[in-house]
Chain A
Amino acid sequence: MLSEQERREIEAHARHYPNNRAVCIEALKIVQQHRGWVSNEGIADVAEALQMKPAELESVATFYNMIFRKPVGKHVILLCDSVSCWIMGYERLRQHLGDRLGIRPGQTTADGRFTLLPNVCLGACDHAPVMMVDEAHYQDLDPARIDEILASYQQEEEKSTDGNAAHS
């Protein structure tokens, strides 16, 4: 079942589109935003709300790699996996990230904090190599910078578990 909030948001988007099917990408994003990922149940819920067949929605959901059909960690790290970044040291970064997090691309850390995913081109080739953590973009990376970035997420989380403002 879609939550009241999810339903409201989907309906708000639906007004911008000529028919239900056109809303499905937005609807999947909304469900993902609220639940972290899109489960089979999430597909069925959206299908019912938009009067589409689950098979069709599944085709859409799996086509876009920003719709997660498997559970992800609290933060999703997208490491650019394309030509410019390859030239500018992608391999070293991937190795470093993997060592620091103890996971390989496609996996989630045991504490459920980070998921590491390769992503073909983040569109900032002039500042390669590049990665994104959730909505934030990080460029001109090297291993030292990556340590800083990871540390900042760790700190932020510790703060929030201390009872301060929730993680944004």
Chain B
Amino acid sequence: MINFEIDGKPVSVPKNGTVMDGANQLGIYIPHFCYHKKLSIAANCRMCLVQVEKAPKPLPACATPAMEGMKVFTHSGQAVTAQKGVMEFLLINHPLDCPICDQGGECQLQDLAVGYGASSSRYTETKRVVANKNLGPLISTDMTRCIHCTRCVRFGQEIAGIMELGMVGRGEHSEILAFVGKTVDSELSGNVIDLCPVGALVSKPFRYSARTWELSRRKSISPHCGLGSNLIVQIKQNRVMRVLPRENEEINECWLSDKDRFSYEGLNSEERLTRPMIKQGGVWQECDWQTALEFVANGLKDVKEKYGAESIGALGSAHSTLEELYLLQKLVRGLGSASVDHRVRQSDFRADSQMQGAPWLGMPIAEISQLKSLLVIGSTLRKDHPLLAHRIRQAVKHGAELNVINPIDDDLLTKVRNRAIVAPDKMVSMLAEVLKAIAELKGVEIPDDAKNALSTVSASDTARAIAISLSDNKPAAIFIGNLAQHHPRYTDICKLAQHIAQISDVRFGVLGEAANSVGAYIAGAVPFGNRFGNRNADTAGDRHGGQGANASQMLGMDDAASGTGCKAYILLNLEPELDCYNTQRAVRTLAAADLVVMMTAYKSHAAIQDNYADVLLPIAPFTETSGTFVSTEGRVQSFNGVVAPLGETRPAWKVLRVLGNILQLDGFDYETSEQVRGDVLPAGNDVSAWLNSRLGSLAVNPIEAGKENKGSEGLQRIGEVPIYQADLIVRRAESLQRTRDAAAPLAWMSGSLMAQLGLQTEEVIRLKQEEGEVQLPVAQDDKLPANCIRIASAHPSTAALGGMFDQITVEKS
């Protein structure tokens, strides 16, 4: 530690610490622009000049290493004169157009100009003007205002992992731009808006819509990815105007992904459902709540009488709150059915009987940056978990080895030590090879339940390299990504990964797909009763044999259980034509039901057009209700509504409560969402006892057999969920929908497959799965494994297709 003095106050910083570090520790503010605690030191704005005893000139606090016995003065005559001098230079070319600048009122330059600027300029020459750049639909530019701090450039290099903005030219001619004709496409790009200390980079969707002092700041939690990013939601006249990050070092640090930041546009979408709607005689009509709820209650009662309680099923999205999902399952179980699920994109439920707890990350998010080796299995990491990918990038920067087993080879913007890019149906055998390799390496027996399956497997060099990486570098972790969770052999993947983790003694986790993926298990929104979580477990499910139908069975997606769909469905926060593993069958199954109740914030186009729904109940999105999300690291985060519900929208937990009352079910007399939460969570909200990704004893299926084989003779689809199609809100966020990441799906395949099928790039082909067919242009990606076609799911243009990883056929059109 180095001891020195700032403004007469003693302080000590670690070796290599700077004067700025010391000042931050003491809470002494030194004016600055280019310095940012999360970015490298540039020392190019010179605003942080301070006086240092015995130094002949003022020194920049951000770049001056602290030295033993140093005496620093931040507000002395010399320091302030220097700072004022710098400010005068900074303002030479700055347009001072604050009245028409979006940054006005939250601008570091404006604030500091008040403290350090002169009341008028001595500069009489013309100011320079810099042309604005088109950086895409999210970031608006006014480059004349730029003071060249290069925060945005360093953010790209150091945090986003891709340098999209650069500073070109020198001196007077310097300017910030993206390379010729490029836009800023990073999924973390919005952070440069926060970083920009002036109004050069501002939010395009928010531009000219409000002043910062007109907005109220309310705390909230992101409902999108499983991270549980902390948000500040800013509102004006009961309308969400924008979303900013709320700093939480353990979760999102000071960052937000673009999905979290810009999705709010979906909250104000014209597609919002504001009154209940009922379909009568094939015609949709708006109605009041009383009518709608009675219609639902009578419908459910009818179905129960006619077909039995088991024919009622409920599906809730894991983007719903803990309270909503708890009441949903309570309602269904109260009616006597155990068919409730949230895993609509999962296709392999073999492990259900052996789950030991809610699958979770297996470690705190913050510790990811400290890992020394990782194995990520089946994930579009950057798109599914943008900030988790950033944590992993930081880990790799500090020497961690990243290993990947994936059917796709998208650029992770970081070094990958070993990559096994294999067709989905080869992922299991790749994992088996790694297990074999690690067992040989450690000289241990292959666990009994995998012994049979592994008898014919021999480890490849890649598998051995992955095994060595995991066993030689500690701490290490294995993460199961979204693609693997949707995989037709999820159980085997999970089981093999778990064995590898156990033998190599590393952490094992499942990356939560949605904000409440962990919470959904804890709330009991699963068909196998309440073996974990859910303190006051409602045992109705168990009374009725314990086991209800899972999502796949309910929606007719499970081959073995075809024709077993329910007669009545309650859908919470879901668009089945986009949100399911096999959207084609889901829609067909729902259309055959007697009653489909959709609790949704939106007039889902397909629900109305495809005519599978019977009732639409307008429920509040996360900004209009209180609730709780349990993040992928098992963190319980509750939030309040930040605006009043739109129109006649009601919080879903209240709707379910009233429905419970109308149906005269017990235990639906909640007055607040906190009471609901109290029924689910233990005192202190510590859910750690219920978190466990491990599976009990369960034999791994023979490596080359199983469900996937039906696809192995032909072409296999790789159906990932595009980043801006993952949930209902983001689908309606207009600006995000104009980004490159939201481009319409293409049929991606390798050049050799194109040659084999006689196809050209951009040629429109017909793609068929089961009875569904779509037409898409061909695109080439030589990194894809042989015999695979990558076609995004969760998109209207591919909704007619079938399973995300099933066989697919191609025809020229």
Q: Which residues of A come within 8 Å of B, CB atoms?
A: 40, 43, 53-56, 58-59, 61-63, 65
- 4 cross-chain pairs, A with B, having the tightest CB-CB distances, nearest first: A55-B166, A54-B179, A62-B168, A59-B166
| Shortest distance from the beta carbon of B156 to any chain A beta carbon, whole Å | 8
Binds A, one of B157-165, B192-200, B576-584: B157-165
Q: Tell which of A53, A61, A65 touches B162, judged by Cβ atoms closer than 8 Å.
A: A53
Q: Tell which of B166, B169, B180 touches A56, judged by Cβ atoms closer than 8 Å.
A: B166
Compute how far the CA of A40 lies from the CA of B168 in the bound complex, rounded to whole angstroms: 13
With A40-B180, A43-B179 as given contacts, are A55 and B170 in contact (CB-CB < 8 Å)?
Answer: no
CB of B167 within 8 A of chain A?
A: yes
With A40-B180, A43-B179, A58-B179 as given contacts, are A53 and B170 in contact (CB-CB < 8 Å)?
Answer: no
CB of B107 within 8 A of chain A?
A: no
| Shortest distance from the beta carbon of B492 to any chain A beta carbon, whole Å | 37
| Shortest distance from the beta carbon of B82 to any chain A beta carbon, whole Å | 27
CB of B178 within 8 A of chain A?
A: yes
Chain B residues with CB under 8 Å of A62's CB are: 168-170
Compute how far the CA of A56 lies from the CA of B156 in the bound complex, rounded to whole angstroms: 11
Chain A residues with CB under 8 Å of B182's CB are: 54-55
Q: Tell which of A40, A43, A56, A63 touches B163, judged by Cβ atoms closer than 8 Å.
A: A56
Query: Do residues B170 and A63 form an inter-chain contact, with CB atoms below 8 A?
Result: yes
Q: Nearest B residue to A61 by beta-carbon distance?
A: B168
Compute how far the CA of A84 lies from the CA of B102 in the bound complex, rounded to whole angstroms: 47
| Shortest distance from the beta carbon of A67 to any chain B beta carbon, whole Å | 11
| Shortest distance from the beta carbon of B563 to any chain A beta carbon, whole Å | 54
Compute how far the CA of A63 lies from the CA of B173 in the bound complex, rounded to whole angstroms: 9
Query: Do residues B167 and A53 form an inter-chain contact, with CB atoms below 8 A?
Result: no
Query: Do residues A55 and B169 form an inter-chain contact, with CB atoms below 8 A?
Result: no
Compute how far the CA of A138 lies from the CA of B190 in the bound complex, rounded to whole angstroms: 52
Q: Nearest B residue to A63 by beta-carbon distance?
A: B170
Chain A residues with CB under 8 Å of B156's CB are: 55
| Shortest distance from the beta carbon of B113 to any chain A beta carbon, whole Å | 28
Compute how far the CA of A93 lies from the CA of B165 in the bound complex, rounded to whole angstroms: 40
Query: Do residues B167 and A59 form an inter-chain contact, with CB atoms below 8 A?
Result: yes
Q: Nearest B residue to A53 by beta-carbon distance?
A: B163
CB 8 Å contact bits of B129-169 with A (1 = contact, 0 = none): 00000000000000000000000010011000011111111
Compute how far the CA of A53 lies from the CA of B166 in the bound complex, rounded to whole angstroms: 10
Chain B residues with CB under 8 Å of A43's CB are: 179
Chain B residues with CB under 8 Å of A63's CB are: 168-170
Q: Nearest B residue to A39 by beta-carbon distance?
A: B180
Chain B residues with CB under 8 Å of A54's CB are: 179-180, 182
| Shortest distance from the beta carbon of B182 to any chain A beta carbon, whole Å | 8
Chain B residues with CB under 8 Å of A61's CB are: 168
Q: Nearest A residue to B156 by beta-carbon distance?
A: A55
Q: Nearest A residue to B162 by beta-carbon distance?
A: A53
Q: Nearest B residue to A59 by beta-carbon distance?
A: B166
Compute how far the CA of A55 lies from the CA of B164 in the bound complex, rounded to whole angstroms: 6
Q: Nearest A residue to B167 by beta-carbon distance?
A: A59
Q: Tell which of A40, A55, A65 touches B165, judged by Cβ atoms closer than 8 Å.
A: A55
Chain B residues with CB under 8 Å of A58's CB are: 166, 168, 179-180
Query: Do residues A59 and B168 form an inter-chain contact, with CB atoms below 8 A?
Result: yes
A-B contact pairs, 11 of them (CB 8 A): A40-B179, A53-B164, A53-B166, A55-B164, A55-B165, A55-B166, A59-B153, A62-B168, A62-B169, A63-B168, A65-B170
Interface size of B by Cβ–Cβ distance < 8 Å? 16
Chain A residues with CB under 8 Å of B164's CB are: 53, 55
Chain A residues with CB under 8 Å of B180's CB are: 40, 54, 58
Compute how far the CA of A63 lies from the CA of B169 in the bound complex, rounded to whole angstroms: 5
Candidate in A40, A53, A65 with the most chain B CB atoms within 10 angstroms: A53
Compute how far the CA of A61 lies from the CA of B180 in the bound complex, rounded to whole angstroms: 13
Chain A residues with CB under 8 Å of B166's CB are: 53, 55-56, 58-59
| Shortest distance from the beta carbon of A16 to any chain B beta carbon, whole Å | 24
Chain A residues with CB under 8 Å of B178's CB are: 55
| Shortest distance from the beta carbon of A92 to any chain B beta carbon, whole Å | 26
Chain B residues with CB under 8 Å of A55's CB are: 156, 163-166, 178-179, 182
Candidate in A53, A54, A55, A58 with the most chain B CB atoms within 10 angstroms: A55
Q: Nearest A residue to B175 by beta-carbon distance?
A: A62
Chain B residues with CB under 8 Å of A59's CB are: 153, 166-168
| Shortest distance from the beta carbon of A39 to any chain B beta carbon, whole Å | 10
8 Å CB interface, B782-797 against A: none
| Shortest distance from the beta carbon of B743 to any chain A beta carbon, whole Å | 21
| Shortest distance from the beta carbon of B569 to any chain A beta carbon, whole Å | 49
Compute how far the CA of A59 lies from the CA of B169 in the bound complex, rounded to whole angstroms: 7
Supply 20 further A-B pairs (C-beta < 8 A) apart from A56-B157, A56-B166, A58-B180: A40-B180, A43-B179, A53-B163, A53-B164, A53-B166, A54-B179, A54-B180, A54-B182, A55-B163, A55-B164, A55-B166, A55-B179, A55-B182, A58-B168, A59-B167, A59-B168, A61-B168, A62-B169, A63-B169, A63-B170
Chain B residues with CB under 8 Å of A65's CB are: 170
Compute how far the CA of A54 lies from the CA of B167 in the bound complex, rounded to whole angstroms: 12
Q: Nearest B residue to A55 by beta-carbon distance?
A: B166
Candidate in A56, A58, A59, A61 with the most chain B CB atoms within 10 angstroms: A59
Compute how far the CA of A55 lies from the CA of B153 in the bound complex, rounded to whole angstroms: 9
| Shortest distance from the beta carbon of A146 to any chain B beta carbon, whole Å | 28
Compute how far the CA of A61 lies from the CA of B169 in the bound complex, rounded to whole angstroms: 8
| Shortest distance from the beta carbon of A63 to any chain B beta carbon, whole Å | 5
| Shortest distance from the beta carbon of B659 to any chain A beta carbon, whole Å | 55
| Shortest distance from the beta carbon of A29 to any chain B beta carbon, whole Å | 17
Chain A residues with CB under 8 Å of B179's CB are: 40, 43, 53-55, 58
Compute how far the CA of A26 lies from the CA of B179 in the bound complex, rounded to whole angstroms: 20
CB 8 Å contact bits of B176-207 with A (1 = contact, 0 = none): 00111010000000000000000000000000
| Shortest distance from the beta carbon of A106 to any chain B beta carbon, whole Å | 12
Chain A residues with CB under 8 Å of B157's CB are: 56
Q: Nearest A residue to B170 by beta-carbon distance?
A: A63
| Shortest distance from the beta carbon of A139 to any chain B beta carbon, whole Å | 26
Chain A residues with CB under 8 Å of B165's CB are: 55
| Shortest distance from the beta carbon of B216 to any chain A beta carbon, whole Å | 38
Chain B residues with CB under 8 Å of A56's CB are: 157, 163, 166
Q: Nearest B residue to A40 by beta-carbon distance?
A: B180
Compute how far the CA of A40 lies from the CA of B179 in the bound complex, rounded to whole angstroms: 9
| Shortest distance from the beta carbon of B357 to any chain A beta carbon, whole Å | 43
| Shortest distance from the beta carbon of A167 to any chain B beta carbon, whole Å | 31
Compute how far the CA of A58 lies from the CA of B166 in the bound complex, rounded to whole angstroms: 7
| Shortest distance from the beta carbon of A70 to any chain B beta carbon, whole Å | 13
Compute how far the CA of A63 lies from the CA of B170 in the bound complex, rounded to whole angstroms: 5
Chain B residues with CB under 8 Å of A40's CB are: 179-180
Compute how far the CA of A61 lies from the CA of B179 in the bound complex, rounded to whole angstroms: 12
Compute how far the CA of A55 lies from the CA of B180 in the bound complex, rounded to whole angstroms: 9
Compute how far the CA of A38 lies from the CA of B687 in the bound complex, rounded to whole angstroms: 60
| Shortest distance from the beta carbon of A62 to any chain B beta carbon, whole Å | 4
Compute how far the CA of A58 lies from the CA of B153 in the bound complex, rounded to whole angstroms: 13
| Shortest distance from the beta carbon of B677 to any chain A beta carbon, whole Å | 47
Compute how far the CA of A62 lies from the CA of B170 in the bound complex, rounded to whole angstroms: 7
Q: Nearest A residue to B157 by beta-carbon distance?
A: A56
| Shortest distance from the beta carbon of A24 to any chain B beta carbon, whole Å | 13
Compute how far the CA of A56 lies from the CA of B178 in the bound complex, rounded to whole angstroms: 9
Compute how far the CA of A25 lies from the CA of B719 in the bound complex, rounded to whole angstroms: 43
| Shortest distance from the beta carbon of A129 to any chain B beta carbon, whole Å | 23
| Shortest distance from the beta carbon of A120 to any chain B beta carbon, whole Å | 10
Compute how far the CA of A58 lies from the CA of B178 in the bound complex, rounded to whole angstroms: 9
| Shortest distance from the beta carbon of B588 to any chain A beta carbon, whole Å | 47
Compute how far the CA of A63 lies from the CA of B178 in the bound complex, rounded to whole angstroms: 15
Compute how far the CA of A132 lies from the CA of B761 in the bound complex, rounded to whole angstroms: 51
Q: Nearest A residue to B169 by beta-carbon distance?
A: A62
| Shortest distance from the beta carbon of B565 to any chain A beta carbon, whole Å | 51
| Shortest distance from the beta carbon of B173 to any chain A beta carbon, whole Å | 8
| Shortest distance from the beta carbon of B709 to any chain A beta carbon, whole Å | 40
Compute how far the CA of A27 lies from the CA of B165 in the bound complex, rounded to whole angstroms: 21
Chain B residues with CB under 8 Å of A53's CB are: 162-164, 166, 179
Compute how far the CA of A120 lies from the CA of B163 in the bound complex, rounded to whole angstroms: 30
| Shortest distance from the beta carbon of B393 to any chain A beta carbon, whole Å | 15
| Shortest distance from the beta carbon of A153 to any chain B beta carbon, whole Å | 29
Compute how far the CA of A37 lies from the CA of B451 in the bound complex, rounded to whole angstroms: 64
| Shortest distance from the beta carbon of B215 to any chain A beta carbon, whole Å | 33
